[in-house]
Structure 1
Amino acid sequence: MRESDIRDAVCRYGRSLFERGLTPGSSGNISVRLEDGRLLMTPTDASLGSLDPARLSLMDAEGRLLSGDKPTKEGPLHRALYETRQGAGAVVHLHSTHSVAVSMLPEVAPGSVLPPLTAYYVMRVGDTALVPYHRPGDPAVADAIRGLAGRYASVLLANHGPVMAGDTLTAAVNAIEELEETAKLYLLLRGLNPRLLSPAQVAELGRAFGGPPAEHRHPGA
């Protein structure tokens, strides 16, 4: 895909996410890794609803700005995911309400935040890791993601929001939306002892559709 098409896609997805209330104000950021290793990233303090393709931040693999506006302060966490997940082609970070709410609950397990409620959560997301709270832009967030050693494509920053790596921008957007919907279901069902997918059902999904590696799935799957 040409760089101009990728720039347009970042702006198109950003506007869609913003208009559907998945990341308010100037929150959230998107990046794409180009074929030559450079990174295209949304600028700092920019609303995803009104991005300009020509002003997206273009950086080298080490995070040096080559052109465009100053990049999001969350750039280090994006680069940490690219460093540890070699197949990642895009990273999306949102401040979506239900995912943020789940990140504040005391009972969630750091290595498996959400249970296997639906087939599409298992297929598109797998397991989600919880990273302890750090202020936005703190280099410690990137260090915490590196500490996961690439085991998770889906990461929830405590009291902050979800981050999703995907092979493509479309895959990352679809997965982070699935994470948000699963977080919403979890909150609706909290305390009601819902019926989860069984380990056998999760395994069947893996055989039929592929999906996340086994270590990303819910314990017992």
Structure 2
Amino acid sequence: MNDPRHAVAEAGRRLHALGMSPGASGNISVRTPHGILVTPTGRGLDELTQDGLAALDADGAHTSGAPPTKEVPLHLALYARDPSAQAVVHLHSTHAVAVSCLEPDDPHSCLPPLTAYFVMRVGRTPLIPYAAPGDRALAAHVRAVPFTFRAALLANHGLVVTGADVEQAVLAAIEVEETARLHLLLHGRRARPLGPAQIADLATRHNVHWPTVPPAPSTGGVQPSVKETSGRHLKPQP
């Protein structure tokens, strides 16, 4: 297993090189046996160093290193939701932010199942109601989602994903951004997303969560859970 500090620094450089973390935006965290390592506030992801990360205990208290990102409550909420999550990536990538400004057609996923790899690697992606960046209300909105997810868009803000490790979280973030780009390219056209039978097949094969009944009309936020496809957790696939 890679050193977690090295993994976070490398992930930051990779995401910045892909144009997914403009300016000093975006943050990454990873669980460790002692708590959480998280990127510092006010630094671009391309500027990360292994010694420049913030260390937190399991409750999120800052124990050493640089001052942490203000989005620590968001990261903690995602870890609390899913004990299997070992890393969190939050980005302001262009296409994901654009979709986060649109009213979703599906209250369970603001990105449609356009490709098999989006369904396999990410699963349904709810739109989290707006709260100011760093506000604890944003973490509360994440905790309140009544169904399982591994990725979400934060309204008028950006994307957030979890993963079994930093690499898997990075791959899921890239998949979300690419699916958001496809969604915008197809917006207003007669797109042909995967159908219920195709989604159900992928759910069975890859342990993915996705609703199996038609969604209710959107009201701009997450809605109560509906019947789900098989599997308790999404398993990222190669």
TM-score (norm 2): 0.86
Out of 3, 15, 20, the position equivalent to 2:18 is 20
- Provide the C-alpha distance between the structure 2 equivalents of 1:33 and 1:218, rounded to a whole number of angstroms: 36
Q: 1:108 to 1:23 in 2, by over 3 A?
A: farther
| C-alpha separation in 2, matches of 1:163 and 1:130 | 10
CA deviation string 1:25-56 (max 9, x = no partner): 1100000011x250000001111011011010
Partners in 1 of 2:147 and 2:164 — Cα distance? 13
Matched-pair contact (CA < 8 Å) for 2:30–2:86? yes
Bigger helix share: 1
Query: Which of these residues, 129, 132, 136, is aligned with residue 133 of structure 2?
Result: 136
1:71 aligns with 2:68: yes
Match of 1:200 among 185, 197, 201: 197
Deviations 1:69-100 (A, max 9, x none): 00000000000000111110000000000000
Distance 1:160 1:52, change over 3 A: same
What percent identity do the matched residue pairs reach? 50
Match of 2:7 among 6, 9, 12: 9
Indicate the residue corresponding to 2:44 in structure 1: 47
Which of 112, 115, 134 pairs up with 1:115?
Answer: 112
Q: 1:218 to 1:160 in 2, by over 3 A?
A: farther
Whether the aligned pair in 1 keeps the contact of 2:97 and 2:156 (CA below 8 Å) is yes
| Change in 2 beyond 3 A, CA 1:111/1:16 | same
**8 A Cα contact 1:127 1:152, kept in partner:** yes
Query: Paired residue for 1:179?
Result: 176
> How far apart, CA to CA, are the structure 2 residues paired with 1:163 and 1:216?
24
Q: Which residue of 1 aligns with 2:56?
A: 59
Q: Aligned residue for 1:212? A: 208
Query: Match of 2:8, SS?
Result: helix
Gaps in structure 2 of 5+ consecutive residues? 216-227, 230-238
1:99 maps to 2:96: yes
Structure 1: which 5+ residue stretches go unaligned? Answer: none
- TM-score normalised by L of structure 1: 0.92
How many aligned residue pairs are there?
Answer: 217
